[in-house]
Amino acid sequence: MSVQENAFTGFANPVDPTPAELRSWAYQPDSVSLSAMPTDWDLLVSGDQLIGTLADLALDPRCPARRFALHCLYIYAADTVRTNFRAHPKRRLRKLVEQAESRGDDVNRQWAYNTRMLIARPELFNYHDWCEGGLVRNPRKLGA
């Protein structure tokens, strides 16, 4: 039985979900609305522990929470670059970008492009675009 066939039963601790809980929620997102989650939940889950799971979810066009996962990837990339690679390892971000470029569709490749642009030109950072979902709601290539 795949994760997609399992019914989501909730988070043991929504502030610190496991990768399996996050994956299960992503395929049953209506079972727990984002409004019921802790404030800034997107910021809480956009760390090293869950970024691989979020990247997998963003790569899956069938995932109901794909846009949320992509939003979290934007947060992760911005946090990585804005802290000059102190918050998260540069090699991990580079791996995520390469994965999005090689396995992703247009949405993922655009995230990868924008992340490469931000690495090259950190002044392109805009909190609304990168951390509040602006680039997910209004997709565009930065610096183009």
The count of structural domains within the chain is 1
Kindly state the tokens that stand for 97.
């970008």
Q: How far apart are CA 13 and CA 49, in angstroms?
A: 14
- The mean per-residue pLDDT over the stretch 65-80 comes to 96
109 located within any domain: yes
Element containing residue 20 per DSSP (H, E): helix 19-27
The confidence score (pLDDT) of residue 134 equals 96
6 located within any domain: no
The confidence score (pLDDT) of residue 23 equals 93
Q: Which tens digits make up the pLDDT trace of 10-36?
A: 788 888 899 999 999 999 866 556 666
The confidence score (pLDDT) of residue 79 equals 97
* Domain enclosing residue 106, as ranges: 16-137
The confidence score (pLDDT) of residue 144 equals 67
11 located within any domain: no
Q: Which residue bears the tokens 């799971």?
A: 53
39 located within any domain: yes
9 located within any domain: no
Q: How far apart are CA 47 and CA 87, in angstroms?
A: 9
Q: Is pLDDT at 3 greater than 50 in this prediction?
A: no
* pTM for this model (two decimals): 0.90
